[in-house]
Amino acid sequence: MTTLLSWNVQNGISVSGERSMKNIAAAIDRHGVPDLICLQEITRGLALSADDVGLDEVAALSAMYPDHEPVFGAAIDLRLADGKRAQYGNLVLSRLPVLSVRCHPLPQPADPGIRQMPRVAIEVTVQADDGPLRVTSTHLDYFSERQRRAQIERLREIHAEACELVAIPPPWAEVGPYGRLPQATRALLCGDLNCTDDSAEHARLVAPQDRPDARLYDAWSVLHGARAHPPTCGVHDHRQWPMGPHCRDFFLVSESLIDCLVAFKVDVETAASDHQPLRLTLKG
């Protein structure tokens, strides 16, 4: 079995305002340490406020999971006034061998007057027991619908391009930058997609593509049919989410992974973040 966890950890800030990566790790480990841990809203030295020192959460989490290889995808990477570099983005921790990594910047079309920040999708291809598995973790824009829709289109393109490269591989060199790269049609997209399960945006994410093998499927719906998605946000934090509990975090899978789906659970108990952790179990 392969277990994956996806969670927007809000930089380790709990509903009570306490900031603790130890609490995040405790919630992650509650039902066993996953093989892949996909976390959104992770800072590496970027201060969150004027009085914040700018923690290195990548280093903190890497130390807590020494058996996992850390892969960080920076959506923000800048030089601070003191000369230090600061980054912000998504972190993947993998106990499975990491075969390759790609970092995909997502579109940020101008949307005047709307609060916004750059977004990225971090893609890791890992060696699972039954072959390569391509896992992409991302966090789409919250405030700008225009940017979020553009980001969804790019994610669809990324998956379709990967499937096409498997079907029509290029001529590979023996070594060097034109050498063979790991490819996988078995793919999974996860993260805080900032759209609800009944939205047009979610429908677009799982809509058919020109290539039949490039369609993505909502893992919860595959396993549970028309049963309502469990809430992944607003469960405990009613200040940021006055609309109450709802779903905006997902696992989407390629058709080739449908028969591998075993279980999908959302931990609604922890209040270590404003979102809830999602855990997916796959055969192999």
Dump pLDDT digits (tens) for 42-84: 999 998 887 888 899 999 999 999 999 999 999 999 998 888 8
DSSP conformation letters of 199-217: SHHHHHHTS--SSGGG-EE
Q: Can you tell me the distance from the alpha carbon of 143 to that of 130, in angstroms, rounded to the nearest whole number?
A: 40
Question: Residue 258: what pLDDT?
Answer: 97
Question: Taking a C-beta distance cutoff of 8 angstroms, is the pair 220, 251 a contact?
Answer: yes
Q: Which residues, listed in sequence order, are joined to residue 100 by a DSSP beta bridge?
A: 125
Question: Residue 48: what pLDDT?
Answer: 86
The list of the chain residues with pLDDT below 50 reads: none
Tokens encoding 74: 């920076």
Question: Taking a C-beta distance cutoff of 8 angstroms, is the pair 39, 91 a contact?
Answer: yes
Task: Mark out the alpha helices in 48-187 (DSSP H runs).
Answer: 57-64, 145-167
Question: Residue 254: what pLDDT?
Answer: 97
Question: Residue 238: what pLDDT?
Answer: 95
**Most distant pair of Cα atoms in the chain: their distance:** 57
Question: Residue 137: what pLDDT?
Answer: 98
In 3D space, the residue among 263, 146, 139, 149 whose CA is nearest the CA of residue 200 turns out to be 149
> Which element (helix H / strand E) includes 252?
strand 249-254
Any idea which residue has 């992650």 for tokens? Answer: 28
Question: Residue 82: what pLDDT?
Answer: 86
Q: Can you tell me the distance from the alpha carbon of 233 to that of 196, in angstroms, rounded to the nearest whole number?
A: 10
Cα 36 to chain centroid distance, Å, stands at: 11
Q: Which residues, listed in sequence order, are joined to residue 264 by a DSSP beta bridge?
A: 280
* Residue-wise pLDDT tens digits, 103-137: 999 999 999 999 999 999 999 999 998 899 999 99
Question: Residue 205: what pLDDT?
Answer: 98
Whole-model pTM: value is 0.96
Question: Residue 117: what pLDDT?
Answer: 96
Q: How many helices (H) and strands (E) does the chain have?
A: 5, 12
**Domain segments of the chain as ranges:** 2-170+181-282
Phi-psi region of 101 (alpha: psi -120 to 50; beta: other; left: phi over 0): beta
Q: Is the dihedral of CA 88, 90, 95, 99 positive or negative?
A: negative
Q: Does domain 2-170+181-282 have CATH number 3.60.10.10?
A: yes
> Using the 8-state DSSP alphabet, how is residue 48 labeled?
S
In 3D space, the residue among 255, 268, 185 whose CA is nearest the CA of residue 222 turns out to be 255
167 vs 123, 181, 259, CA distance in Å? Answer: 19, 14, 21
Question: Taking a C-beta distance cutoff of 8 angstroms, is the pair 106, 155 a contact?
Answer: yes
Task: Mark out the alpha helices in the chain (DSSP H runs).
Answer: 21-29, 57-64, 145-167, 200-205, 219-224
Angle CA(166)–CA(172)–CA(175) in degrees, nearest 5? Answer: 130
